[in-house]
Structure 1
Amino acid sequence: MPKIGMEPVRRRALVDAALQVIGDQGTLSVTMSDIARKAGVSPALAHHYFGSKEQLLTETIRFLLRQLRNDTVRTLKAAEHARDRISAIIRVSFQADQFAPQTISAWLAFYSEAQRSEATRRLLVIYARRLHSNLVDSLKQLCSATDANRIAEGTAAMIDGLYIRRALGSSPVTADASMRLTDDYITLNLQMFSIQTDTEKGHAA
């Protein structure tokens, strides 16, 4: 029987174990026994806390999303200006625990699962919309709403692309380098749209 008061500890241990096992194997085709063994508990206890592997995997994705949301909120509070807030969002996306090889592998496995699982797809859509909304909110203070949406879409695609390249080992890009590349992309686009706007104003005059 599970010990009283141990449920939060065991649930977190199982979530951490799920991330490690999925990250190591690069697939969601792991068993509850694999995860339970990694967490140091019995499969029966794992089923007691989560009911099924699918429920545990859903909670694991939610855990990652909560981490991102909490870190983003905390980081944004410390940023005074719109451009600083954008850089803060990028920094959170590539922070050490999210850009670790195991975590990246787990993210890719979840994206693959989203093609078959509606529950997984919904959670990942929430993440994508939240990232887009956070970027657009600050970008609109620096450019038009149309340009803000275009830059936000490109930024999100760049983040996803850098995660994939890191996972495949096709590029030795580090977390710091990824932050700089993405930040440079935003800076260049803001400058480009600013020049276009100034040119249009000149023609109108």
Structure 2
Amino acid sequence: MPKVGMAPVRRAQLIESVIRCIDDGGLSKATFKTVSQDAGVSAGIIAHYFGNKQGLLDATMRHLLNNLFVDIKKAMSAYSESSVQERIQTIVEVNFDGSQLRKSIGRTWLSFWAESAFKHDLARLQNIYVGRMSSLLRHEFAKVQPRELARDNAKLLLAAIDGEWLRSSLEGDHSDPSVIRHRLNRLIGLLLN
């Protein structure tokens, strides 16, 4: 009989195993067999918690999305009275801090982005990410700019964030988060002037 309260712990362990498997060989490597071997559990346990491989991948993507937006919300709450520029810079900083820029996390995001063009569930989660990030950025820009300009600037900055993410994922450990943040902060300054 399973221990009461173990489900969240076990799910988190399995999601970390998925991230390690994707880091090791892409989405195709994240099978029930490889994840179960990595986690030291049976494939039946994975099926119990996630149903199938798509359920496991969806849960992993939701986990990454949740972590990103929880971190952004926490960081933004410390800057509630700050300038628009500081608040937007905070969003950028969270996207490129140590926890978000781990090589394995970057590779996992990259794998999901590539597959989202072909898998409806992953495309839906990608759209949630784009919608939430766009909304956050647009809200900040709109405090000092007309609505249409704020919308366009939010799209430009999000494209730059995603571009830097893509590049850092491909470069692996050779990316310097402080250089990325500096580049994006310069762009924020240009978009606000």
| 1:176 aligned residue | 178
Check 1:182–1:130 CA distance in 2 against 1; reply closer, same or farther (3 A cut): same
Alignment of 1:11-50 (within 5 A): 11-50=11-50
TM-score norm. by structure 1 comes to 0.87
| 2:190 aligned residue | 188
Check 1:7–1:116 CA distance in 2 against 1; reply closer, same or farther (3 A cut): same
User: Deviations 1:135-166 (Å, cap 9, x if unpaired)?
Assistant: 11111112222221121111111111111111
Q: Is the contact between residue 22 and residue 30 of structure 1 (CA under 8 Å) also seen in structure 2?
A: yes
Identical residues among aligned pairs (%):
32
Letter in 2 for 1:183: N
| 2:98 aligned residue | 96
- Which piece of structure 1 moves more, 18-27 or 84-93? 18-27
Q: Quick one: distance in 2 between partners of 1:16 and 1:170?
A: 19
Q: Is the contact between residue 76 and residue 88 of structure 1 (CA under 8 Å) also seen in structure 2?
A: yes
Matched, 1:141 2:152: no
Q: Secondary structure at the match of 1:41?
A: coil
| 1:58 aligned residue | 58
Letter in 2 for 1:35: V
In structure 1, stretches of 5+ residues that fail to align are: 192-205
Check 1:45–1:171 CA distance in 2 against 1; reply closer, same or farther (3 A cut): closer
TM-score norm. by structure 2 comes to 0.92
The higher radius of gyration belongs to 1
- Structure 1 position 11, deviation (Å): 0.8
Q: Secondary structure at the match of 2:59?
A: helix
Q: Secondary structure at the match of 2:98?
A: coil
User: Deviations 1:171-192 (Å, cap 9, x if unpaired)?
Assistant: 943112111111110101222x
- Structure 1 position 4, deviation (Å): 3.3
Q: Is the contact between residue 85 and residue 189 of structure 2 (CA under 8 Å) also seen in structure 1?
A: no
- Structure 1 position 132, deviation (Å): 0.7
Q: Quick one: distance in 2 between partners of 1:184 and 1:173?
A: 18
In structure 2, stretches of 5+ residues that fail to align are: none
User: Deviations 1:66-100 (Å, cap 9, x if unpaired)?
Assistant: 11111111111111222221111111111212111
- Structure 1 position 129, deviation (Å): 0.8
Letter in 1 for 2:24: D
Q: Secondary structure at the match of 1:4?
A: coil
| 1:200 aligned residue | none
Letter in 2 for 1:50: F
Q: Quick one: distance in 2 between partners of 1:183 and 1:111?
A: 24
Aligned length: 191
